[in-house]
């Protein structure tokens, strides 16, 4: 290719020389005498005509240069999206999803000849991998202090904040045992009531810009109030009743004085602020991934390194990007919500993925959900908003299919819009799925892995900042 371009440039140079010579001769011996031009006029005319020849030659050289060396000529001037999905997995159904009914039909090789396979090329723009900071930002009206954090920890574990005294925040968000969730498909509230959604982990939620699966809370303070009065969760009749319940316990009076100032009233806002302050200390920065990005190049296994590359190449970073692996994070909340599932596949029926529409209006067909963090994701199963998937490899297959379009070959008919679309994305093979899962395990905190292995029973050694105070709580609740 390069030799061909050089030959073309050489021909252009020869043509330029010949063209200039012909132009000068034509003016000198033909146009000049016929126009009765003096020598100065002849040179002026020759210059004007020669400029056109020269401009043509320059354009030809530029075209060849741009075609041959785009990385040096035009790429530096093109603004690129650092988290853009590869072009081969762009959504062909954009704009058709919110109100469509889909009919999908697989295309076999016998029906269509040799099945076309499109190779997804890695996005050429460098993706910057990042680690979490050790501390979370706090709002100006609720600065994090040790006294407030200690009070929030007590409230987080206090079962008296539920109507029948049977549940605390920690009942669904188990930080002592490790995962920060409850390990159930959907959570169980007072009187054995079962909720409709999976309990998200509380670890690293301090870095999220939207809370709950449907993103309806914009802060930890706002989120902390919701479960207290949810009739299916902790079931308190009102936020005022929560205030009264806390005021009735004299041991809280001194703790509130220390946290908010002597004599300040115990209000639901201060209760929520204390719980939020505690939750802002639940940070994990001790994963193999974090060690690798900080410079320990032996922290990841070969499979995890391959999975890390695939995580970027197949497009996972389009939604799960940044230090907290979430588009709904405080670091960069450009895309906090996503339609899920995007592509119609058999998975949505098998796992009931569209029965709950999340942040979308009821009856929308396809839900809209806050992008969850993938930190510690290997520890927080079962997965998805309805907890319907028990195997992490299956979760990766589902996401690569329904979100990224790696579905195989299908004809998709939108009955609402009367549009036919052909999807053509090779399904990820088992080795690729295993490598991505290996990388997701690299996002797990070493401390949390140890806690889960010990079933929450051993906190006597090597306690770091994120475990401070938890042993005190464990001992006090065991009395």
Task: Quick: pLDDT tens for 304-360.
Answer: 999 999 999 999 999 999 999 999 999 998 889 999 999 888 899 999 999 999 999
What pLDDT score was predicted for residue 408? 84
Q: Is residue 315 part of a domain?
A: yes
| Domain identity same for 178 and 264 | yes
| Domain identity same for 294 and 432 | yes
Q: Is residue 139 part of a domain?
A: no
Task: Quick: pLDDT tens for 68-86.
Answer: 655 555 555 544 433 333 3
Contacts of 96 (CB under 8 A, 6+ apart): 414, 416, 417, 419, 421
* Sheet strand arrangement including 419-425: 102-106, 408-414, 419-425
CA distance 86 to 400: 13
What pLDDT score was predicted for residue 135? 96
What pLDDT score was predicted for residue 290? 98
Q: Is residue 176 part of a domain?
A: yes
* % the chain with pLDDT above 70: 71
CA angle 186, 224, 287 (to 5 degrees): 70
176-185 burial, b at 16+ Cβ within 10 Å, e below that, comes to bbbbbbbbeb
| Domain identity same for 319 and 438 | yes
Q: Do 178 and 379 contact (CB within 8 A), yes or no?
A: yes
| Residue in the block written with tokens 């140890």 | 450
Q: Is residue 247 part of a domain?
A: yes
CA distance 49 to 58: 15
Domain end among 36, 54, 77: 77
What pLDDT score was predicted for residue 60? 67
> Residue 389 region, left (φ>0) first, then alpha (ψ -120 to 50), else beta?
beta
| Domain identity same for 292 and 362 | yes
| Domain identity same for 295 and 397 | yes
| Domain identity same for 237 and 166 | yes
| Domain identity same for 388 and 433 | yes
Q: Is residue 355 part of a domain?
A: yes
Contacts of 63 (CB under 8 A, 6+ apart): none
Task: Quick: pLDDT tens for 369-420.
Answer: 999 999 999 999 999 999 999 999 999 999 999 999 998 887 878 777 888 8
| Domain identity same for 311 and 194 | no
| Domain identity same for 97 and 244 | no
What pLDDT score was predicted for residue 70? 58
Q: Is the peptide bond before 382 cis (omega within 30 degrees of 0)?
A: yes
Q: Is residue 431 part of a domain?
A: yes
What is the pairing mode between strands 337-340 and 408-414? unpaired
Domain end among 77, 95, 110: 77
Q: Can you give the pTM of this predicted structure?
A: 0.73
Q: Is residue 140 part of a domain?
A: no
Domain that holds residue 254: 146-283+449-478
| CA-based nearest residue to 473, from 154, 194, 260 | 154
Question: In the chain, how many domains are there?
Answer: 3
Catalytic residues: 233
What pLDDT score was predicted for residue 437? 98
Instruction: Give the phi and the psi of residue 469 in degrees, each rounded to 5.
Output: 90, -20
CATH number at residue 377: 1.10.760.10
| Domain identity same for 194 and 125 | no
* % the chain with pLDDT above 90: 61
| Domain identity same for 115 and 178 | no
| Domain identity same for 243 and 200 | yes
Give pLDDT < 50 ranges for the chain: 1, 78-95, 97-99, 109-123, 458-479
Q: Is residue 137 part of a domain?
A: no
């Amino acid at each position: 290719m390069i030799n061909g371009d050089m030959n073309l440039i050489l021909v252009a140079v020869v043509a330029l020389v010949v063209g200039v010579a012909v132009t000068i001769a034509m003016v000198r011996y033909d146009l000049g005498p016929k126009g009765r031009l003096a020598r100065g006029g002849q040179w002026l005319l020759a210059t004007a005509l020669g400029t056109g020849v020269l401009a043509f030659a320059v354009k030809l050289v530029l075209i060849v240069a741009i075609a041959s060396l785009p990385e040096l000529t035009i790429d530096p001037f093109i603004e690129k999206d650092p988290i853009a999905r590869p072009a081969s997995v762009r959504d062909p159904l954009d704009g058709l999803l919110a109100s469509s009914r889909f009919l999908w039909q697989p295309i076999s090789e016998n029906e269509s000849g040799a099945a076309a396979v499109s190779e997804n090329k890695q996005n050429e723009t460098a993706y910057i991998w990042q680690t979490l900071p050790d501390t979370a930002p706090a709002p100006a009206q609720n600065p994090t202090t040790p006294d407030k954090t200690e009070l929030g920890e007590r409230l987080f574990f206090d079962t008296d904040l539920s109507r029948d005294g049977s549940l605390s925040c920690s009942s669904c968000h188990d930080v002592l045992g490790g995962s920060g969730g409850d390990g159930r498909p959907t959570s169980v509230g007072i009187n054995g009531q079962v909720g409709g959604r999976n309990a998200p982990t509380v670890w690293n939620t301090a870095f999220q810009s939207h809370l709950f699966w449907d993103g309806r809370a914009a802060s930890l303070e706002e989120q902390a109030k919701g479960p207290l009065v949810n009739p299916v969760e902790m079931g308190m009749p009102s936020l005022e009743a929560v205030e009264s319940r806390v005021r009735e316990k004299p041991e809280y009076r001194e703790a509130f004085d220390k946290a908010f100032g002597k004599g300040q009233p115990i209000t639901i806002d201060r209760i929520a602020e204390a719980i939020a302050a505690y939750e802002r200390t639940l940070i994990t920065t001790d994963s193999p991934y974090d060690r690798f990005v900080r410079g320990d190049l032996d922290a990841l296994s070969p499979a995890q390194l391959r999975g890390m590359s695939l995580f970027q190449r197949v497009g996972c970073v389009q939604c799960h990007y940044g230090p907290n692996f979430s588009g709904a994070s405080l670091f960069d909340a450009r895309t906090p919500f996503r339609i899920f599932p995007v592509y119609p596949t058999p998975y949505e029926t098998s796992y009931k993925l569209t029965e709950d529409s999340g942040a979308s209006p009821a009856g929308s067909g396809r839900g809209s959900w806050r992008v969850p963090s993938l930190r510690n994701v290997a520890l927080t199963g079962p997965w998805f908003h309805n907890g319907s998937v028990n195997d992490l490899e299956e979760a990766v297959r589902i996401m690569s299919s329904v979100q990224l379009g790696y579905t195989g070959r299908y004809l998709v008919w939108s009955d609402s819009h009367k549009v036919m679309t052909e999807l053509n994305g090779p399904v990820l093979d088992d080795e690729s799925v295993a490598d991505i899962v290996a990388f997701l395990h690299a996002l797990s905190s070493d401390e949390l892995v140890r806690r889960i292995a010990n079933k929450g029973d051993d906190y006597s050694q090597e306690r770091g900042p994120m475990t401070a105070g938890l042993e005190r709580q464990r001992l006090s609740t065991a009395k």
